[in-house]
Chain A
Amino acid sequence: MSGEPNVLLAAHALTKRYGDGPPVLAGLDLDVREGEIVALLGRSGSGKSTLLRCLAGLLPPSTGAVTYRGVALTGANPGAAMVFQTFALLPWLTVLQNVEVGLEARGVARAARRHAALNALDLIGLAGFQSAYPKELSGGMRQRVGFARALVVEPDLLLMDEPFSALDVLTAENLRGELLELWESGEFPTQAMVLVTHNLEEAVLLADRAVVLGTGPGGAVGTVYDIPLPRPRDRDAPEFAAQIERLYAVMTGRPEAAPLPPLGLRPAPRQASDAGGAEASGGQHPLGAGGVSRPGGGPAVAGGVDHAGHISREQPRLRQQPGDVGVGGAVEDPRAVAAREHEPGRP
């Protein structure tokens, strides 16, 4: 299968168990092709992170193999870079040094890697922060560093384990939108992305295919669903809602015509209409001054939400959203960080 020219990464009959524990993955097959985004979905503990780490070559499979461009992995995947849920930045290095490490490991000369790292910081909206330490940044900014570090080595594959789930909803929304914009703009160095997420809307917004890990006999098996929506995707479109509906049904094992899901997975209408009002007035988001965290961390943010719980806002316009200002920072660091988060990184 890896003979196909456009398959970048392939897992073949992949099984994994930790030590003597129960099997986690039960013979998974998966192809990741050039130009596509694959979302890994599944309940907590279903083995998404395990699968991603096998794809990254960080965990050896128990049986089966992962091949990158037709070559079976025997260590860290040379074509992949990872973005971590908890950022995994080195706290003793500055932002610039953190972004440079991948290039340094590849033996790039100092001047060249500095140049490349500054460009990556610029691209990801962190220009001017190169000499800050991770501790001084808000969560959203830290994850930007995580993205810059992964992108600067120009990996074929970007692997992400819940990259947005440690961020508050607004910050996550911004970063997600920017990532998508970069991906669609064509200036992206990366050929394919694999993303672990708990957020169905995020999966439908980003992915061309979704792999749902479900428990089979002897570990998780994956079922692949195509998400054949045109890009840029319109969250208002009924097809968008239908895709979410379908994945939701798959994951809960309900028939597709199921009633609305319970609270937590989707926002409650009342909160949603508040948010809608703010959006309509085009001014400060009422939640912007205080905390934004909402139980469940559902996808709805500063946007109108219709009765089915779908966000009706356009994709976030990057950094120009006045309602965004200060939210990422205000939650995590009440001092000046708020201003930084939205300091336009590039002209």
Chain B
Amino acid sequence: MAMPSGAGGRTARLAPSFLSDAVVGLGVLAVAYAAIRLGYEAASSPASVSTDPADLPYLAGRSLLRMFAALALSLVFALVWAYAAARSRRVGRVLIPLLDVLQSLPVLGFLVVAVSGFTTVLPRSEWGLEAAAVFAIFSSQAWNMAFAFYQSLITLPRELDEMARDMGFTRWMRFWKVELPSAAIGLVWNGMLSFAGGWFFLVAAEAATAAGGVHALPGVGSFAGAAVAAGDLGGVGWAVAATAATVVVVNFLFWRPLVAWAERFKVEQAEGATVQRSVVLDLLRRSRWPRLAGRALGLARDMLERAGSHRPGAGRPGECLRRGDGWQQNGHSGDTLINAAVCTSAGAALAVLAVYLARHPAGPALLLEPLLLGAVTLVRVLVLVAVATLVWVPIGVAIGLSPRLTRIAQPIVQVLASFPADLLFPLATWLFLATGAGLDVGGAFLMALGAQWYILFNAIAGATAVPADLREAMDSLGVYGWRRWRRLVIPAVFPAYVTGGITASGGAWNASIVAEVVTFGGTVVTATGLGAYVSQAADAGDHPRLVAGVLVMAFYVMALNRLVWRRLYRLADRRYSLD
């Protein structure tokens, strides 16, 4: 290796080539063109549903645009919300519990309300539909990402925090050079998993508009929805194939390169962790475009600086957002305002709901039925999580402990997790109908189709993080078999497992809304449960029951989180944390 005196450190080692320049250049142009074209279509053309498989590439493009719009929104929301919550403890005390509540609200229950809300607010009904779909995806991603960023803000490595304060970093420098980079890996992984989860909601939202009749959003989900309504199994198959292809392509062109690129933000090289690689990223690095773009950005920044934004002592010093030490954070002037606004709107929403429910003839009894039905769904969720744990944790650990298997399996699992399980529901329904199996048991299976991957994914991640020296110590002490599981594997994987378990159980609750009532070509199969209750109330436009069902479901999710997962989390943190 030569002296790295030239530009670009590590990245310079890939020799630039004309071919990669050309490929990357054309690729960027193609993506930009497609995005603009699709965006234009979305803004101008009337919503309609297609049943021609030849339209599927276009439809997949429209769906993808929604996914990325929601991802961008979620990212902005996550950064702003988390920063506000971390900057002031007083504000955090309101924003963080609120995040918890939002996280447990079953989005799919709101879909119908959201659609009608957005269509009345926005000038064109297609825009309303688009907005509702994007909102559904957004609300499946944003809370997670906000929480991840918040965590990383308040647990910034101590010495980086001290360095930033000692060097007098301005607020912007602190954010841009320290906080955002150290959160980058977490944000990228979280974004990737949230994006994977988002497909489920995309399909549900699009299918809901298709089922709604008049208008439908062009997309893979509405294509599938129309096929289901027509009882066209072949059409569903086409939709499944198109979605699978889209998921694979997006992973290859977007997430893998992003994950591999984020490696540069590792604070320390954890031994044993697999190095993420991406062909696309290598290609990008081999081309000269990024460097040109970087130089152009640098020039722009220079010009901005020269324009006089920099004067001595510019900018206010960044504060310590890290919890634990630092000078007492005095209250900020905006704190009370933010808190008042948030509390007022939350309180108002609650009051409206309370009045609304109280005016219903059934009164509080309205809540009784969903509470009972919730218990049935709860059993489904618990069984699902237990079975998924027993099946996937050993497999995940086996994968995670072998770097070679991890390299192979991780992208596959990622694709499986991304694949929207609700696209498969019609096929499963058809199977249930053909075999005569009931949905009461099958519903749990459908819910598991989407939720199980979180457990597998986190088991793999947890096992990868087991330090090599601990494993070697066990080898040298001759600890194998069950004893090894009890002493090393289970404690080491436990924290990651709990994270996966929370997500899986939350996802299962949400999925119950579409999994406990399935239709196929006019046949409707229903299971007993809260999901079916909410879904039916939504279809019937029975808003009091819908509100009651959604509230009760949120209550169940929060209760389960608090009584079970939160405790396991604390146990994991106290006893089994690896640092």
A84-B162, A86-B159, A90-B178 in contact; A102/B327 too (CB < 8 A)?
A: no
Q: Is the CB of A109 within 8 A of B160?
A: no
Give Cα A61–Cα B459 distance, bound, in whole angstroms: 44
Further 9 A-B residue pairs, CB within 8 A, beyond A76-B168, A105-B173, A109-B305: A58-B166, A80-B166, A82-B163, A90-B181, A91-B264, A94-B9, A105-B167, A136-B4, A340-B3
Q: Is the CB of A133 within 8 A of B10?
A: yes
Q: Is the CB of B302 within 8 A of A81?
A: no
Report chain A residues within 8 Å CB of B177. 90, 93, 101
Report which residue of B9, B168, B169, B326 has the largest number of chain A beta carbons within 10 angstroms of its beta carbon. Answer: B168
Report chain A residues within 8 Å CB of B160. 88, 90
Q: What is the CB-to-nearest-CB distance from B504 to chain A, in angstroms, rounded to a whole number?
A: 33
Report chain B residues within 8 Å CB of A209. none
A31: CB under 8 A from chain B? no
B481: CB under 8 A from chain A? no
Give Cα A217–Cα B177 distance, bound, in whole angstroms: 43
Q: Is the CB of A109 within 8 A of B310?
A: yes
Give Cα A82–Cα B327 distance, bound, in whole angstroms: 18
B476: CB under 8 A from chain A? no
Q: Is the CB of A131 within 8 A of B4?
A: yes
Would you mind naming 8 contact pairs between A and B with Cβ atoms under 8 Å apart? A53-B162, A90-B181, A107-B310, A107-B315, A128-B3, A132-B4, A132-B9, A340-B3
Could you say which of B265-273, B513-521, B539-547 contacts chain A?
A: B265-273
Q: Is the CB of B167 within 8 A of A149?
A: yes
Interface size on B, residues (CB 8 A): 43
B6, B9, B312: the one within 8 Å of A107 (CB): B312
Give Cα A124–Cα B305 distance, bound, in whole angstroms: 28
Q: Which residue on B lies nearest to A149, using beta carbons? A: B167
Q: Is the CB of B9 within 8 A of A76?
A: no
Encode A55-76 as 1/0 by CB contact (under 8 A) with B.
Answer: 0111110000000000000111
Q: What is the CB-to-nearest-CB distance from B358 to chain A, in angstroms, rounded to a whole number?
A: 46
B121-164 at interface with A (beta carbon < 8 Å):
159-160, 162-163
Q: Which residue on A lies nearest to B162, using beta carbons? A: A58
Q: Is the CB of B9 within 8 A of A131?
A: yes
A106: CB under 8 A from chain B? yes
Encode A115-152 as 1/0 by CB contact (under 8 A) with B.
Answer: 00000000000001111110110000000000001000
Report chain A residues within 8 Å CB of B265. 91-92
B328: CB under 8 A from chain A? yes
Q: Is the CB of A58 within 8 A of B167?
A: no
A75-B327, A88-B160, A335-B1 in contact; A131/B8 too (CB < 8 A)?
A: yes
A286: CB under 8 A from chain B? no
Would you list the 9 A-B pairs with minimal beta carbon distance, nearest first? A107-B314, A88-B159, A88-B163, A102-B167, A82-B166, A105-B168, A76-B165, A107-B312, A60-B327
Q: Is the CB of B327 within 8 A of A101?
A: no
A162: CB under 8 A from chain B? no
Q: Is the CB of B4 within 8 A of A107?
A: no
Q: Is the CB of B159 within 8 A of A78?
A: no
B469: CB under 8 A from chain A? no
Residues on A close to B: CB < 8 A? 18, 53, 56-60, 74-78, 80-82, 84, 86, 88, 90-94, 101-102, 104-110, 128-133, 135-136, 149, 153, 335-336, 340
Give Cα A300–Cα B183 distance, bound, in whole angstroms: 42
Q: Is the CB of B173 within 8 A of A101?
A: yes
B309-339 at interface with A (beta carbon < 8 Å):
310-315, 317, 325-328
Give Cα A135–Cα B264 distance, bound, in whole angstroms: 10
Give Cα A62–Cα B315 distance, bound, in whole angstroms: 29
Give Cα A133–Cα B168 distance, bound, in whole angstroms: 22
Report chain A residues within 8 Å CB of B266. 91
Give Cα A121–Cα B245 distance, bound, in whole angstroms: 51
Give Cα A86–Cα B177 distance, bound, in whole angstroms: 19
A60, A81, A130: the one within 8 Å of B166 (CB): A81
Q: Is the CB of A58 within 8 A of B326?
A: yes
Give Cα A81–Cα B163 distance, bound, in whole angstroms: 9
Give Cα A133–Cα B181 distance, bound, in whole angstroms: 15
Q: Which residue on A lies nearest to B298, using beta carbons? A: A110
B9, B162, B170, B328: the one within 8 Å of A133 (CB): B9
Report chain B residues within 8 Å CB of A101. 167, 169, 173, 177
A82-B166, A90-B177 in contact; A76/B317 too (CB < 8 A)?
A: yes
Q: Is the CB of B5 within 8 A of A88?
A: no
A110-B305, A133-B10 in contact; A58/B310 too (CB < 8 A)?
A: no
Q: Is the CB of A131 within 8 A of B5?
A: yes
Q: Which residue on B lies nearest to A135, using beta carbons? A: B269
Q: Is the CB of B313 within 8 A of A106?
A: yes
Report chain B residues within 8 Å CB of A340. 3
Report chain B residues within 8 Å CB of A149. 167
Give Cα A295–Cα B364 distance, bound, in whole angstroms: 73
Q: Which residue on B lies nearest to A74, using beta carbons? A: B327
Q: Is the CB of B327 within 8 A of A136?
A: no
Give Cα A80–Cα B165 distance, bound, in whole angstroms: 11
Give Cα A24–Cα B173 distance, bound, in whole angstroms: 33
Q: Is the CB of B4 within 8 A of A129?
A: yes
A81-B166, A153-B167 in contact; A131/B311 too (CB < 8 A)?
A: no
Q: Is the CB of A131 within 8 A of B310?
A: no
Report chain A residues within 8 Å CB of B314. 107
Q: Is the CB of A107 within 8 A of B166?
A: no
Q: What is the CB-to-nearest-CB distance from A83 to chain B, in angstroms, rounded to a whole number?
A: 10
Q: Is the CB of B317 within 8 A of A106?
A: no
Q: Is the CB of B312 within 8 A of A106?
A: yes
B4, B168, B178, B267: the one within 8 Å of A106 (CB): B168
Q: What is the CB-to-nearest-CB distance from A113 to chain B, in angstroms, rounded to a whole number?
A: 10
Q: Which residue on B lies nearest to A111, using beta carbons? A: B302
Report chain B residues within 8 Å CB of A336. 1
Q: Which residue on B lies nearest to A155, using beta carbons? A: B166
Q: Which residue on A lies nearest to B6, using beta carbons? A: A131
Q: Is the CB of B305 within 8 A of A131?
A: no
Report chain B residues within 8 Å CB of A90. 160, 163, 177-178, 181
Q: Which residue on A lies nearest to B313, using beta carbons? A: A107
Report which residue of B9, B167, B264, B312 has the largest number of chain A beta carbons within 10 angstroms of its beta carbon. Answer: B167
Give Cα A286–Cα B435 distance, bound, in whole angstroms: 79
Report chain B residues within 8 Å CB of A131. 4-9
Q: What is the CB-to-nearest-CB distance from B263 to chain A, in angstroms, rounded to a whole number?
A: 10
Q: Is the CB of A102 within 8 A of B168?
A: yes
Report chain B residues within 8 Å CB of A18. 325
Report chain A residues within 8 Å CB of B328. 60
Report chain A residues within 8 Å CB of B165. 57-58, 75-76
Q: What is the CB-to-nearest-CB distance from A65 to chain B, in angstroms, rounded to a whole number?
A: 13
